Chain A
Amino acid sequence: MTTIDKTASVPAPRDGATHDGPLLDVRDLHVEFRTREGVAKAVNGVSYSVNAGETLAVLGESGSGKSVTAQAIMGILDTPPGFVTKGEIVFRGQDMLKMSEEEHRKVRGSKIAMIFQDALSSLNPVLSVGYQLGEMFRVHQGLSKKEAKVKAIELMDRVKIPAAAARVNDYPHQFSGGMRQRIMIAMALALEPDLIIADEPTTALDVTVQAQVMDLLAELQREYNMGLILITHDLGVVADVADKIAVMYAGRIVEQAPVHEIYKRPAHPYTKGLLASIPRLDQKGQELYAIKGLPPNLLKIPSGCAFNPRCPKADDVCRTDVPALVPVTEQDGTDLPGRGSACHFWKETIHG
């Protein structure tokens, strides 16, 4: 993976940024799915924030609630069965959960955009890419069909699709995987949003194309000074691009930290397990570490710390008390800014 320059050092304020505080601030978000089998608690009190130009990586296994949180932010949760039961999603000082459906819709796509994982199934197979790109301008800016097509070609050029003008009328299945993902990115960028949520944008791509797509995303983010929430389970991608990391497990954030510190000194046994399970050249020939067990059933989340059945350090207290996300400090008590861990034994984990 290529190295990418950090973007946090470019704090140029975007127009209309009249609010104080972070661009997006998610506070104590709870989401549940009411199904026939019972209530699945997918998100249980997630809080995170993103500033303009900053990249937050949200890390976690399948079913940890990272995508559901993103869908709640976008307001595209399928209701029913999904319901936001508690919390606030404050975007530029306004709680989006209190907006009317129409206000929220206008924010979607123009102010907050989303990139999905599998670009083939995420693009409409029966509409040309030019049409799907142009739709953004037609709906949000009221452009004519012709003007929208010109804009669509510009966008395709912008994300480096060769021969954009000739390919604007092609359909998604006529593009390669990497090109399709570029089209997804172009669609998200169309109206130069303040925040982009990328839900595993490179998972379906091969490694060389992954690098190209991440480069492109980082370059465009820097250029427009956008906030980026990168949802992934690929620790390799995270290290190169992210400014800070939030690790999720069973609908909670179990650890958060600036990106490089988490690799050096994880403060949660789950993060530690994740890092230990990355294949490393210097351990060639040895057995690869794996976290034992399976992610919890969201219908029956274990009492206490949700990770306790799989945790090598679990004690009695872990089976009864839910650990809060507490600030992590050095051994002598000095602050480690931006760090937090939801483990009863974070001290032993980080310092021990």
Chain B
Amino acid sequence: MGRFVIRRILQMVPVFIGTTLIVYFLVTQMGGDPIQNLYGEKPVPDNIRATLTAQYHLDDPFFVRYWYYFTGLLQGDFGESINQGRPIVELLAEAWPETLKVAGVAFTFELIIGVIAGVLAGMRRGSFIDNLVLVSTLFVIAVPIFVLGNVSQTFLGQEWGLFPVSSTDDGFISYVLPGLVLGSVSLAYIARLARASVAENLRADYIRTAKAKGLPKSRVIGIHVLRNSLIPVVTYLGADLGSLMGGAIVTEGIFNIPGVGYQLFTSLNVEDGPAVVGFVSLLVLVYLISALVVDMLYAVLDPRIRYE
């Protein structure tokens, strides 16, 4: 296991370099003129343009610029946002806590409710609860998330006043509704995955053995069925963790939360290359680490998988 982890961490290095290189390249190819964006419609004075170009190395060859960027990255220097003129580390430090709170709510919600709904549905195939889970999850999957977000904002927030409508002024409660909306689609997938694998494992020979041993039902389900049914769910959760953090652009937009997705979207709009690369680089790290955690969890859940 130890050697596996070390090997995987070493594998992360080329992946990280490769992805940042590609993202950096794509951002430089976006065209547009970030300096012009600072001035809007007005002309940019020549001396300012020259200073900024030199400051951000905008005229240097691509690989030289990447080299400057990457060496800075290794020292924890993400560079400076062209658009806001602030260190990108500051932007990251502001955005990540917001995103983590929303993602945390979403993750907890989808894990707990999703697994419970899936297990109940899988245990009673064809029952009312099974059909309820199937229909409601299909509904959630079918409806686009911006519809879900706007509708729940309007009704749960404005009309019935159950949750704060937007922004982050009300402390933790402000993150609950965005979290629920963000986690809802993944919840639907988790419920369906758990349902299918519980239904399948219930018919397994070792469950028959567990019953023949005279184990109480709670133990048969809670230990023998669940341990085996969680394996596909964990796979999904690992991949989902990344998209909860980077893919929350729509949800963060609707609820006006200045998180990673929101910042990324803004930076893209104003062609703020360094900021985009900075946010994406960190997201790449999050994906890589969550993939590693999932692989390690596999070995814990299923001893037949051994890493040597």
Contact = CB atoms under 8 A, between A and B. Distances in A.
A126 B213 contact: no
5 contacts: A106-B214, A109-B215, A114-B212, A122-B205, A139-B216
Contact of A122 (B206, B214, B215): B206
Interface of A: 74, 76, 78, 105-110, 113-114, 116, 118, 121-128, 135-136, 139-140, 171, 173, 184, 187
From DSSP, what is the main secondary structure of chain B's interface residues?
Answer: helix
Interface in B210-259: 210-216, 219, 223-224, 227-228
Interface of B: 203-206, 208-216, 219, 223-224, 227-228, 301-304
Which 10 residue pairs are nearest across A and B when measured between Cβ atoms?
A109-B214, A108-B214, A121-B205, A124-B206, A109-B213, A114-B212, A171-B303, A76-B211, A122-B205, A122-B209
Contacts of B227: 124, 126-127
Given A74-B212, A109-B212, A127-B227, A139 B204 contact: no
A38 to B, nearest CB: 18
A139 B303 contact: no
Contact of B214 (A78, A105, A171): A105
A113 B214 CA distance: 9
B205 A105 contact: no
A232 B228 CA distance: 30
In the complex, which of the residues B209, B210, B301, B302 has the most CB atoms of chain A within 10 Å of its own CB atom?
B209
A14 B49 CA distance: 99
Nearest to A184: B209
B234 to A, nearest CB: 12
Contact of B208 (A109, A116, A173): A116
B303 A126 contact: yes
A118 B228 CA distance: 19
Contacts of A116: 205, 208-209, 212
B122 to A, nearest CB: 15
In the complex, which of the residues B213, B215, B227 has the most CB atoms of chain A within 10 Å of its own CB atom?
B213
B288 to A, nearest CB: 27
Contacts of A135: 213, 215, 219
A107 B214 contact: yes
Contacts of B203: 78
Contact of A108 (B212, B224, B303, B304): B212
Nearest to B224: A124
Nearest to B203: A78
Contacts of A106: 214
Given A108-B213, A116-B205, 14 more contacts: A76-B211, A106-B214, A109-B212, A116-B212, A121-B204, A122-B206, A122-B208, A123-B206, A125-B303, A126-B227, A126-B301, A126-B303, A135-B219, A136-B213
A107 B206 CA distance: 19
A121 B203 CA distance: 11
Nearest to A110: B214
A122 B210 CA distance: 9
